[in-house]
Amino acid sequence: MIVIGAGIAGLAAARALRQAGLVVTVLEARQRIGGRVWTDVNDGVPMDVGAGWIHGPDGGNPITALARQAGAATYMTNDDSVMVFDAQGVDVTDRQFSEGSKRVAALRRAVESAMDDDAVSDTSLAAAIRAADDTALADPYVRYELTSNLEFDTGGWLEALSARNHFNDDKYPGKDVLFPGGYAAIPKLLAAGIDIKLGSVVSAIRHTDSYVTVESGGVSYTADYAVVTLPLGVLKQKSVVFSPDLSAGKQASMGRIGIGRINKVFLLFDKAFWPIKTQYFGFHSPLRGRYAYFVNYRTFSDINCLVTFGFGEQGEAVEAMTEAQLIADVSPALKTMFGAAALAPRRAIATRWNSDPFARGAYTFAGVGATERDHLSLAAPEGKRLLFAGEHTHEIYRATVHGAYLSGLREAKRILAAASA
C-alpha cells in the first residue's frame, strides 16, 4: 500500500493499515511529518504554525485519546476570557458582547431564513448580509465578530463563503484545548514504526483496475492501492498529474470548495506588557481580518508571546511582508490596544501557508454553491485502486485535525474491506 502525504490523514491511514498487518510506505514531500500540524521550536518557543486547538475535545473526539496516549499535556482555553478594544483603543468588551453579538446573531438568522427557500440561489455571505442589512458591514462591532469568529473558524472570506452552507459543520462538545508543548506530539505518535520516505515529492499517479503506480523523484512505486492525502490546494494546482485525469465530478467539487488564506504571526517580546491572565484580545482593526485577534501565551506558559492572525485577503497581505515590515505594521495596533507601555516585538514570525507548495492554503470552506455532497465527491475513490483522504474529504468535520484523522481511518477501512472481499 502507498500513502501519499504524512499529515494527520496519511498517518492515520498508514497506522491503521499497518496495524491490520499490511505493508505500507508513506511518501512525504517535506523533510518532516505532520503537514499542517507542526510545532516549530527553532526560536526556543513551541510555535504551532498550523493547527493549535483540539476543537471540541469531548464526546469521543479521537484526538483527545491520541493526546492521552502521547502523554501530551493540554490546556483548556476560555473563550469568555477576552478583552476587545475599538480602533481608538477603548475597551469595548461589554458593548461587543451585548450589542455587537446581538446584531450578528440577528443577521445570521436573517441570512438563514432567506437561504431556507430552495428557490433562492446560493450567494456569498457578504452579499446575503448586505441584502439583509446594507449598513451592517460598516459597523466595526459586526466586522470584528464576523472576522474573528466566522472568517477564522471557516477559513473563508465573507465575499467567498457560501451564504447557505458556510457553517453547517458538526462539532464535538467541550471547550477547546491547546498543547503548551506543541501539537506535533500527535503526528509523532501516529508515525511510530511506519516506513515514511521524507523528501519524496510525488509528481504523477497512474492507476488501473489492478494496480497504482506513483512517481516520485525518478522512482516508481507500484502497489495494490494508494491513498492520496494531498491537500485540496495542491490538487487544485495540478502539480501532481493523474492518469486517467480526475473525474469531472471530483474536479467540479474541487472548484466549489474554497481554501482559506489564514496565517498566524507569532510576536515574541522581551517582557509582557498586556494583562497576562486574559486569554484573548480583540481589536477593531481598520483592516478587517488583519490583527483583529490575539492569543496570549502567558495564560499557559511563561513565554512572552502573542499570536495574531491575517484572515482572507489580509492573510495574503501578512504573508507578503518581511519580518521588519510585520514588526512595523503590527506595532501601532499594539500601542493602540495597550498604550505607551507596549513594546515592539523582538521577532514577528509569520506562517506562510498560501505560498507553501505542499499546502497552498490553510483549510477548506464551503464556497458559493458548495454543499456536503462536494466533500463526499472529494472522498470518493477513482476507479478501484485510488482512494482519497484529508480534511477536505470529510463532510462533517472538514478543516480540522479530527476530520483529517477520521478520513484516514475511513480509507484504511475501505482498503481492508476491498482486500478481504
Ligand X SMILES: Cc1cc2nc3c(=O)[nH]c(=O)nc-3n(C[C@H](O)[C@H](O)[C@H](O)COP(=O)(O)OP(=O)(O)OC[C@H]3O[C@@H](n4cnc5c(N)ncnc54)[C@H](O)[C@@H]3O)c2cc1C
Summarize as ranges the residues that interact with ligand X (CB under 6 A): 4-10, 27-30, 35-37, 50-53, 55, 201-202, 229-231, 234, 240, 262, 264, 351, 353, 358-359, 362-363, 390-391, 399-401, 404
β-strand partners of 308: 265, 294
> Which residue's CB is nearer to ligand X, number 238 or number 373?
238
- Smallest gap, in angstroms, from Cβ of residue 302 to ligand X? 22
> Which residue's CB is nearer to ligand X, number 92 or number 202?
202
H/E stretch holding 258: strand 257-259
Separation of alpha carbons 55 and 176, rounded Å: 5
CA nearest to 402, candidates 50, 34, 77, 56:
56
Residue 2 near residue 212 (C-beta atoms within 8 A) = yes
Maximal CA-CA distance, the chain = 70
Separation of alpha carbons 180 and 219, rounded Å: 40
- Smallest gap, in angstroms, from Cβ of residue 44 to ligand X? 21
- Smallest gap, in angstroms, from Cβ of residue 394 to ligand X? 9
Separation of alpha carbons 279 and 297, rounded Å: 8
- Helix, strand, or coil here: 227? strand
> Which residue's CB is nearer to ligand X, number 285 or number 354?
354
> Which residue's CB is nearer to ligand X, number 137 or number 320?
320
> Which residue's CB is nearer to ligand X, number 136 or number 257?
257
Burial class (CB in 10 A: 0-12, 13-18, 19+), 122: buried
DSSP 391: G
> Which residue's CB is nearer to ligand X, number 85 or number 183?
183
Separation of alpha carbons 219 and 206, rounded Å: 13
